[in-house]
Structure 1
């Protein structure tokens, strides 16, 4: 994914609000432009398309809704968050139905809008960041890429090419870290819906109690706290594509509604009786054995057959070791470019070590290892010692194994489990999160940008966690923390 600083355009006739947004978002690491009217916002988008627009509904001249329609005509995949007062929520809902990413009510909660902005920027980049399929060299380095010459990968490229121009439902199967979301994005970008919304829903990341309302929306009074109408992501993505990641873990009650969507192409909001027709293409992915889940009664058999109209398999990295050198060179070139440093290359010994590993975390784990090795590289080709250190655990063929630190960690967790304390899971996660972030900051001399790259977090996310844990950053920063 593109690692450059996200560009955000604020469109509002309130000078004080624009200034507040500028200060807030600049402190979070975003680049901010502002416009005082809908007309000025349209000109700003045509001048340089941002990653996100945050726009008021009511302004002198044309309304935010009219401005959004013009922006969408110029760049249909541009995510827009609509700001509205309580009295104009119907207009904001209409904008959402037109394809706006979301809306937020004034006055808004700062942590809430920061979280929404981070999600919207990621969604926009998913739609607009090109996925190179089977390419190598400069073309691949400049984009997210699906790389490999093995027969399994050649079969995958053919399947993407054949399925993408159709409206067929696609099921992508493979272990965690193999790149299933990249395949989903590639199918979307080569489809006839490539200029329409592409929304990603992680069925595991969203709590079960919220997943149904996230997907289908709700009417006012549908449940406690439902103070107004909310358009669901499926309705919002009308004429576009919805990617349901980790669908194998979706609750059975929601599976029934997804089956109805696939069969009848309509939805009902929670608490509503109106049947809403939608035209969406569904791409789903899972790392679970769906056949076993069907036999165990954990996954609907009728939904399983509806999903597997086209099935694409992502092979684990251990089954295509010949692709590892290609991936290592891709990651070296890509991350070197992102860090603004020359590509140091890799020694034959280090490459041999990397090629012989089982990589249980697959391509994601390999990429993270290369990235961590690069952060502390001094310019020479990566060697076996750097690769071993970046891995964080002894690699096969890399010398005698040290004691597994996971053993002592497991003993500590067992002791805590015996304590019977309430909120134990949250306490442990916070304790481990604090430890990991403190060690990353220590390793980077307090440089938050480097620490974020080391941890695989966005800089705004890391800053939020530093604030949450009350960490004090020492002044001994080794280099500019921009």
Structure 2
């Protein structure tokens, strides 16, 4: 149901607008404002999908109303209604962000067409915003603790930008989830998200994986091959465990960040790439820099934004929520009913030293699901989970 505000001081024109809009769609919810002051008051107290606003009104004119709308509801389309002598002013309102203007007396067909287009555009913008705010359930970040809220807040601020992000934290804390959130809430969400685990690839192959190679570059290079940076073009590349990357590969990553160019192994041809880089590590990179194992200039290129993911021991209050989430997820995967956890069982889990963090907790819940009864007790936890 679209909510429309008609700000017009002439009662006869208000009546015509209300009549034609009501006949067009009975579900329209229409509010009236007989002057600019009332219009501004309603803008501050109600959310609208469309505003039809006269330019010349008592108390506050249409320009003042439009300014207030852009301040309080910037995404709402505003159609200005102009008298014959107000055309220049109407054009000025377009520069101020009005969607369109209609001359008096209004051409009803043009008015209805403009209203339909404005409402359709507004709905599309709203849907796009909601889609960007949503993150795949697969990468849901569970928790209500202050530390997790802080991480989510940083993600919401940083995701729409192209700023590089360095995610730090212990193994199993959810650094990969943060990287996925940053991509899925970004403008690049429809482009590739390419992950590479720098610790899992031998140092002699990491450059080929990242930048590709040309035929004959080394013994097994039987054909040209694109690397991960090319595959991620237009999107995001996630360099997990970047602290384990070799120094020669670090030098090439640094060049890619500085110049937005790469070279395949065995080639001197530059290839332009448009890639957002997100990196993660469980190492203290400043200590690695001191030990000459990590380039300081690369660190400063990557760490435009730093996100420290808290350990599970630092957010124990989230354990009941995580247990409930994992219990339901694991039950669904196994086609079973989820197990319930007694209060004493949850308190026991909260008392553990979770050196393996979220990953370890999930493994324990899966073990309890398989070995425990319908309700998991403190004794079950003591029996099947190890401190």
Report the TM range for the smaller structure's normalisation.
0.5 to 0.7
Residues 323-345 of structure 1 deviation map (CA, whole Å, 9 limit, x = unaligned): 11111111111111221111221
Aligned to 2:377: 383
Provide the secondary structure at the position in 2 that maps to 1:182.
Answer: helix
Answer whether contact 2:171 2:356 (CA < 8 A) is retained.
yes
Partner of 2:326: 331
- TM-score normalised over the length of structure 1: 0.52
Equivalent residue number for residue 52 of structure 1 = none
Asked if structure 1 preserves the Cα contact closer than 8 Å seen for 2:139 and 2:181, the reply is no
Deviations 1:314-360 (A, max 9, x none): 00111111111111111111111221111221012211110001100
Deviation of 1:390 after TM superposition, in Å, equals: 3.5
CA distances 1:15-50 after superposition (whole Å, capped 9, x unpaired): xxxxxxxxxxxxxxxxxxxxxxxxxxxxxxxxxxxx
Aligned match for 1:206, one of 187, 201, 208? 201
* Secondary structure of the corresponding residue to residue 312 of structure 1: strand
Distance 2:364 2:315 in 1: 18
Q: Is the 8 A contact 1:208 1:251 kept in 2?
A: yes
Mapped contact 1:370–1:387 kept (Cα < 8 A): no
Normalised to the residue count of structure 2, the TM-score between the two structures is 0.64
1:196 equivalent among 191, 196, 201: 191
Confirm or deny: 8 A CA contact 1:131 1:185 kept in the other structure.
no
Q: Residues of 2 paired with 1:191 and 1:160: CA distance?
A: 10
Distance 1:244 1:132 in 2: 23
Query: Where do 1:412-431 residues align within 5 Å?
Result: none
Larger radius of gyration: 2
Counterpart-to-counterpart distance in 2, 1:291 and 1:269 = 30
User: Within 2, Cα distance between the matches of 1:326 and 1:220?
Assistant: 52
Residue matched to 1:241:
236
In structure 1, runs of 5+ residues without a counterpart are 1-129, 134-139, 396-482
- Per the TM alignment, residue 389 of structure 1 is displaced from its structure 2 partner at its CA by 4.1
Question: Is the 1:293–1:299 Cα contact (8 Å) retained in structure 2?
Answer: yes
SS in 2 for 1:336: helix
- The C-alpha deviation readout for 1:368-417, integer Å capped at 9, x for no partner, is 10011112334x211233323433x3x3xxxxxxxxxxxxxxxxxxxxxx
How far residue 242 of structure 1 moved from its aligned partner, in angstroms, is 0.4
Alignment check: 8 A CA contact 2:235 2:274 kept: yes
Distance 1:338 1:253 in 2: 43
Question: After the TM superposition, which parts of structure 1 deviate over 2 Å for at least 4 consecutive aligned residues?
Answer: 130-133, 384-391
Cα RMSD (Å) of the superposition? 1.7
Distance verdict in 2 for CA 1:364–1:131, change over 3 Å: farther
Indicate the residue corresponding to 2:301 in structure 1.
306
Answer whether contact 1:370 1:390 (CA < 8 A) is retained. no
Identify which of 255, 262, 271 aligns with 1:267. 262
1:183 equivalent to 2:178? Answer: yes
Which of these residues, 344, 350, 357, is aligned with residue 362 of structure 1?
Answer: 357
Q: Cα distance, 1:211 vs. partner?
A: 1.1
Which has the bigger relative contact order, CA under 8 A and spacing at least 6? 2
2:94 aligns with: none
Q: Distance in 2 between matches of 1:389 and 1:206?
A: 38
What CA distance in whole angstroms lies between the structure 2 residues aligned with 1:132 and 1:381?
Answer: 33
Measured against aligned partners, the alpha-carbon deviations of 1:155-200 in whole angstroms (never above 9, x if no partner) come to 1011110111111111101000000001100110011110011110
String of CA shifts for 1:457-476, please: whole Å, max 9, x gaps.
xxxxxxxxxxxxxxxxxxxx
